[in-house]
Amino acid sequence: MELPVVESIDACRSAVGAARRAGRTITFVPTMGALHEGHAALVREAASVPQAFTVVSIFVNPTQFGPNEDFNRYPRTLDADCRLCWAAGADLIFLPTVETMYPSNSCTFVDVGELGNHLCGASRPGHFRGVCTVVMKLFHIVAPDAAFFGAKDAQQARILRRMVIDLDYPLDFRIVPTVREPDGLAMSSRNRYLTPEERAEAPKIHRALFEVQSRVAAGEIDVARLKSALRNALEAISNARVDYASIVDEETLQPVARIEKPALCAVAVFLGRTRLIDNLTLA
C-alpha cells in the first residue's frame, strides 16, 4: 500500500475530514522535504498519539528565503521523503505547489514583531514572517489537533508557539528534542551541502555549545565570559564564519547578562557556503 499524496487544499481537507469523522486525532508535521532521521522522529512522535491520523506537509516555502539564499538549490527528494514518512507512520502527505499556497493576488502575511528580529531574524530579514505565514496557512488547511516541531530550530519553535497563543489557535504545540548524528552534529537537510572536509569540522559546533553548557553546570553564570569562550571555540573551526553566537532568555529571546534562569545558547555558523544552526539550553 502506498502512502496517499494529495496536492490540492480540497483533497487535503477531504482526507482530514474523513479521518476526523472516523474518530481520529489529527496530528501534523510541516516540513520542507529533504527529510532525515530528525524528521522521522517528529513523524513517529505525531503517529504515537492515540488514534492519530498523521499528516506531513512537504513544501519548500519561497517566502522564508532571502534573495541570495538557497531556495532554488534546496534539495528536493520526494521519493525518499515518501518512503521515510511511510516507515515512520504517516497517513497522508500534503504536497502543495507555490501557486496553491500563494495565489497571484495573495497579499496577507503574519508578522511576529520583535521575536523575529533576533538571532536568525537579524541576518535573515523577513524569514520568520514567511515561516509564520506558511505555517498558519497550513494549520488552517490541515486543522490539526497537535503539531510537532524540532528543538534544533529553537527560535522558530518559540515564535510559532507564540503565534499560536496570540492568535488563539486551538492546537497542542509540541517541541521534540534535536536528533543528532553519532558525532553530535545536529541533523539538518542542509548537511548534505557540506564537503567531506566541512563535514569533519561540523561536529565542533556542538562541542562548543556543550562546553558552554558544562561551564554553566560548573557554576559560571557570567554571560560575557561564556560568550567569549563560545565564539573563540567556533572561530577556531577550520573554514568557519560565525553568523551569531548568543545567549538569550529561553522564552523572550532577549539577551541576558547572567544565567539566573533557563537560557538558550544558540549559534549560526557558516562552513564554506553552508549555514548551520544549533542550540542547547543552559540552566
Where exactly are the structural domains of the chain?
A: 5-176, 189-278
* Alpha helices, H only, 220-273: 223-235
pLDDT the model gives residue 1? 62
Return d(Cα 283, Cα 273) in angstroms, integer. 33
12's grid cell: 487535503
The catalytic position among 39, 118, 127, 206 is 39
**What's the Cα-to-Cα distance from 9 to each of 14, 40, 90, 100, 106, rounded to whole Å?**
8, 24, 18, 8, 15
Domain 5-176, architecture per CATH:
3-Layer(aba) Sandwich (3.40)
Nearest to 231 by CA among 253, 203, 212: 212
Nearest to 143 by CA among 15, 5, 47: 15
Residue pointed to by grid coordinates 498519539: 49
Bridge partner list, 31: 58
In what helix (H) or strand (E) does residue 206 lie, and over which residues does it extend? helix 203-217
pLDDT in tens, 111-124: 988 889 889 999 99
pLDDT the model gives residue 283? 85
3-state helix, strand, coil in the chain (%, to 5): 40, 20, 35
Task: Give 26's DSSP letter.
Answer: E
Return d(Cα 82, Cα 53) in angstroms, integer. 16
Nearest to 41 by CA among 84, 70, 92, 100: 84
39 tagged catalytic:
yes
CATH number of the structural domain 189-278: 3.30.1300.10
pLDDT in tens, 234-281: 999 999 999 999 999 998 999 999 999 999 999 999 999 999 999 999
In order along its 283 residues, the chain shows pLDDT tens digits of 689 999 999 999 999 999 999 999 999 999 999 999 999 999 999 999 999 999 999 999 999 999 889 999 999 999 999 999 999 999 999 999 999 999 999 999 999 888 898 899 999 999 999 999 999 999 999 999 999 999 999 999 999 999 999 999 999 999 999 999 999 999 999 999 999 999 999 999 999 999 999 999 999 999 999 999 999 999 999 999 999 999 999 989 999 999 999 999 999 999 999 999 999 999 8
